[in-house]
Amino acid sequence: MHAMVLKQVGAPLARRLGAVWAGGSDELPPQALDAAIIYATVGALVPLALKAVDKGGRVVCAGIHMSDIPSFPYRILWEERQLASVANLTRHDGVEFLRLAPEIGIVTRTTPYPLEDANRALSDLRAGKFEGAAVLVP
């Protein structure tokens, strides 16, 4: 399976973790993907992700909120591609995923920040001062 990640923030980390390819959301991968997960809230990424997945591929919108998805030609949904949302996941699904994550090799990188330093965390994220996710600690 191949992965597409946002190159400005996650490509170096993705490559170190074994991604075959890491590029921008405005780039097509060198070969069609089995699936794509969109974490960004940008609906305009949906048609781009559909173009990047192979026949029978799946695009999953993983955010709670997303801007409107622009109109796109039916041909990029054709050939049994699927578009789904994860809005229907349950707490049990999350618990099961967290149990399974280490077994399948998912590695996380977090940098903790005190809650009062949320603006610094965002600034550090934009500046690329850490890899992975910032975690605000109350």
| Position 2 in a domain | no
The answer to whether residues 116 and 98 belong to one domain is no
Residue 92, Cβ density class (10 Å: 0-12 exposed, 13-18 middle, ≥19 buried):
exposed
The pLDDT score that the predictor gives to residue 113 is: 95
Structural domain contains residue 74 = yes
Asked whether residue 54 is domain-assigned, the answer is yes
Domain that holds residue 120: 110-138
What integer pLDDT is reported at residue 61 of this predicted model?
92
State the pLDDT at residue 131.
82
Residue 4's pLDDT is 41
Give me the pLDDT at residue 6, please. 41
Host H or E run for residue 52: helix 45-52
Q: Which residues of the chain have pLDDT under 50?
A: 1-8
Which pLDDT score, from 0 to 100, does residue 12 have? 77
Which residues neighbour 35 within 8 Å (Cβ) at sequence distance 6 or greater?
1, 53, 57, 58, 59, 60
Pairing state of beta strands 133-137 and 110-114?
A: parallel
Domain count, the chain: 2
Q: What is the pLDDT of residues 11-31, one digit of tens each?
A: 777 787 788 888 888 889 999
CA 52 – CA 47 distance, rounded (Å): 9
Predicted TM-score (pTM) of the model is 0.65
Same domain, 22 and 34: yes
